[in-house]
A and B are shown apart, each in its own frame.
Chain A
Amino acid sequence: MAGDRIIDLQHVSKRFGDKTVLEDINLYIRKGEFITLLGPSGCGKTTTLRLIAGFLAPDEGEILLDGKDISAIPPYKRPFNTVFQRYALFPHLDVYDNIAFGLKLQKVPTDEIDRRVRRVLKMVSMTDYEERDVDSLSGGQQQRVAIARALVNQPKILLLDEPLAALDLKMRKDMQIELKEMHRELGITFIYVTHDQEEALTLSDTIVVMNEGKIQQIGTPTDIYNEPVNSFVADFIGESNILNATMVRDRLVSFIGHDFPCVDEGFGEGVPVDVVVRPEDIYFTTNPARCQFRAKVNSCTFKGVHYEMYVDTDNGFELMIQDYDPYEVGSEVMLYIEPDDIQVMHKERTCNTFEGKMVDATHVELLGGTFECLPQEGLSAGDAVTAEVDFDKVDLLDHQEEGVLAGEVHFLLYKGDHYHLTILTEDGDHLWVDTDDIWDKGDLVGVDIAPKDLKITRRNEA
């Protein structure tokens, strides 16, 4: 259905210096849809929006509008308008002149400008504010003027760059409803950028989850929430229990020391996988026949609508559970999970794999550092090798200078009984570490690997 695609990004890449911010982005946007680019800061979502708006040009790939490449068209000729993150209302113009700015440039007759400005002001409930100085408006009012200024030009696409980020929670909720309403009334395409997963789930027809310059998943809010494709998406969208698991056979998966019936097939037998169980999908029962595992309630916090509880399972895993009824801290409870509430995902990797080079018989160079290894037979200095290290065999040290490599905790994931960390080394490489110790995002760490834990094999130069 190429016909209803309004925007098509094909193999788009963007680099700033030697840092790749977008890598091979393929994405199409349908006419009239509300699409959200969602991800943590630095994931490339704003860059994608700026590419579409025309403030940046892609290094590779094409951006098509109605099937035609628009890479060479400057932003002032593109039929899109943007609502900027900090609104960017012109401080030397009043509300009326801010909104009329685009129309005056197009030399629209004065009476028509007047009519259209008043109409959009009414739409954003800002009638009677024409003469006001923009600096005298509250954040929410500036927001409305910014939206009006974009919409008055009747763009084909409205681009919104975290428009609600500067508003307080209550106002944000109100504006979400109004934006959704505006989208429905106008019927034009909205491309929305946010790091707020709840906002994305509330507003969007389609969500594009991005991380580190790559698209992780594209889908409807329900798809993304119920069937995340990897642990990043599962962790980023909503609350979740992400656990290491093994596929016993089709429709049976083992985790937290128990076997659970599930609905997934085709993973193979005995294959390591990740599972996601949403906290609201773990149920309490008093019927021993239904009970799949037992646990002890560790903490219970009232969250308004529901209670959030942490339980320690009989095999020593910690799970988060949300339920409308509280259970007393310290009490033994029986729990079960429905088969279709277990989301099974392929593991992206099961151990660290690096390419390296032998320095001498007992040293190998990888990730920009030289590690000691066990004496390697049949390998001589300069040989290209592949080194493998299990996640739990990487040692993290408190001080960067104590390790062979220096790095930073980039991303962390709690897996019920341990943390799975992504470490970003100084050279920009990633390695993954399982640890019981508690680290925070952004912690600076030293990395070391014991010689016996490095598995080295010759790499074929083919």
Chain B
Amino acid sequence: MKRSHWSIPYAVFLAIFVALPLVLIMVYALQDGQGHFTLANITRFFSDSDALGTFAVSLEIAIENTLICILLGYPAAWILANRELNRSAVTIVLFILPMWINALMRTLATAELFNILGVQLGKGTLLFGMVYDYLPFMIYPIYNVLVKMDKSYQEAAQDLGATPWKVFWKITVPLSMPGVTSGVLMVFMPTVSTFAISEFLTNNKIKLFGTIIQENINASMWNYGAALAFFMLIIIGVTTMFNGNNKEAEGALI
């Protein structure tokens, strides 16, 4: 048997679970309810101020969430990767641990906590929930890059006269960018499409793009839902392209 035949099971898997659904989204997006070809679903989106507004809000929330995750996650990753500050591998597991619990359950629990504390649900609680859910995905790739970084770069910079502050900004930060891009991808993309968090943590006061897709599908408006999903895929595709040439980032994900 030729070696290339070994890939057949994977090709079949990809065809059924990746290619086919994407084709189906395209087919549904370009059909009306009776199964006739139409561009109406696409044009409807651009005239649907409700959908456009949600789209903008989703992007805004996703960007804000990603920025907060970087601001909180980078220092956390730096501290975890610093052997003088963190001598134990257990601390890293503590940061990763929440990822092992179902996100829905965590979100429900958070909503309940806000309820007990009497906190008004809104944008603040939404962002809190998102940061809480996605922070580990930012910390881990950055941590991975930092912990594997050759310490001799920092030493070389010090040797050339850089103070610890300068070493951090001129060497550590630029060299850890692959980790940051990985983190951005892993946080930004899922936040664009999330709907459960906004449902539970804002009582649907703030609608995200994912929420409208879900509503349309639930209301059996598959064709318009598919068209919206198609736009979201484009956004995700564009984000990935920013990272397209970065080979180091792939390593950082693992």
* A interface residues, Cβ below 8 angstroms from B: 53, 55, 74-77, 80-82, 84-86, 88-92, 101-102, 105-106, 149-150, 153
Contact = CB atoms under 8 A, between A and B. Distances in A.
A319 to B, nearest CB: 45
Nearest to B156: A88
B174 A88 contact: no
B152 A102 contact: no
B153 interface: yes
Interface of B: 150, 152-153, 155-163, 166, 170-171, 174-175
A84 B152 contact: yes
Given A90-B171, A92-B174, A92-B175, A76 B156 contact: no
B152 A86 contact: yes
Given A85-B152, A105-B162, 13 more contacts: A53-B159, A75-B158, A76-B160, A76-B163, A77-B161, A81-B159, A82-B159, A101-B162, A102-B160, A106-B161, A149-B160, A150-B159, A153-B161
B155 A76 contact: no
Contacts of A150: 159-160
B153 A102 contact: no
Contacts of B152: 84-86, 88
B interface, over-half SS: helix
Contacts of B175: 90-92
A101 B157 contact: yes
A82 B160 CA distance: 8
Contacts of A84: 152, 155-156
14 contacts: A75-B155, A76-B159, A76-B160, A76-B161, A81-B159, A81-B160, A84-B156, A88-B150, A88-B152, A89-B156, A90-B175, A91-B175, A92-B175, A153-B161
A424 B160 CA distance: 40
A77 B157 CA distance: 12
Contact of B162 (A53, A55, A76, A85): A76
A82 to B, nearest CB: 5
Contacts of B162: 76, 101, 105
Nearest to A53: B159
Nearest to B160: A102
A228 B161 CA distance: 40
Contacts of A86: 150, 152
A365 B52 CA distance: 85
B248 to A, nearest CB: 10
A105 B161 contact: yes
Contacts of A74: 158
Nearest to A92: B174
Nearest to A84: B152
B156 A90 contact: yes
A313 to B, nearest CB: 51
B200 to A, nearest CB: 42
B164 to A, nearest CB: 8
Contacts of A105: 160-162, 166
Contacts of B158: 55, 74-76
Contacts of A81: 159-160
B159 A75 contact: yes
Contacts of A80: 159
Contact of B153 (A75, A76, A82, A90): A90
Nearest to B163: A76
B161 A82 contact: no
A142 to B, nearest CB: 12
Contacts of B166: 105
B160 A153 contact: yes
A51 to B, nearest CB: 13
A95 to B, nearest CB: 15
Nearest to B177: A92
* A-B interface, 7 closest residue pairs, ranked by CB to CB distance from nearest: A102-B160, A88-B152, A88-B156, A92-B174, A75-B158, A82-B159, A105-B161
Contacts of B174: 92
A411 B244 CA distance: 53
A85 B171 CA distance: 19
Nearest to B166: A105
Contacts of B153: 88, 90
B146 to A, nearest CB: 15
Given A105-B160, A105-B166, A153-B161, A55 B155 contact: yes
Contacts of A149: 160
Contacts of B170: 101
A79 B92 CA distance: 39
B176 to A, nearest CB: 10
A85 B152 CA distance: 9
Given A88-B150, A90-B171, A102 B155 contact: no
Nearest to A161: B152
A76 B157 CA distance: 8
For A53, A80, A101, which residue has the most chain B Cβ atoms within 10 angstroms? Answer: A101
